Amino acid sequence: MIAWDDFAKVDVRVGRIVEVTAFPEARKPAWKLRIDFGPEVGVRRSSAQITNYRREELVGRLVLAVVNFPPRQIGPFRSEVLTLGTYRDDTVLLVQPATGAQPGDRLG
């Protein structure tokens, strides 16, 4: 069990994927994402093992991501946020906010 104060430290925001590029250097298949979190957070980069989605399915899509973890070096790429998804076997399914959510909205 964790305390509420611990959970409250995690900053989860709505973002819109604005760019998706190949990440052939990754050990496991992944995309490099640029995600816009609105004016307060800005555009951040993420490496995501979500290759079960086609590039054209991802651009423009709203996602949820943790924006206050320290950046993580993944091969030659610096991932700045953790894009959230659930696992079903070896497949990652993106967590999506409800209709009407906007980039920068905070999970709470």
- Residue 7 phi/psi, 5-degree rounding, is -65, -40
Q: Kindly state whether residue 88 falls inside one of the protein's structural domains.
A: yes
pLDDT score, position 90:
82
pLDDT digits (tens, 9 = 90+) for 64-89: 999 999 999 999 999 999 999 999 98
pLDDT score, position 108:
83
Q: Kindly state whether residue 106 falls inside one of the protein's structural domains.
A: no
Residues 6+ apart with CB under 8 A from 90: none
Type of residue at 106: R
Domain assignment of residue 75, given as a range? 10-94
Task: Pick 28 or 40 by higher pLDDT.
Answer: 40
CATH number, domain of 84, equals 2.40.50.140
pLDDT digits (tens, 9 = 90+) for 31-66: 999 999 999 999 999 999 999 999 999 999 999 999
Q: Kindly state whether residue 56 falls inside one of the protein's structural domains.
A: yes
Q: Kindly state whether residue 76 falls inside one of the protein's structural domains.
A: yes
* Domain count along the chain: 1
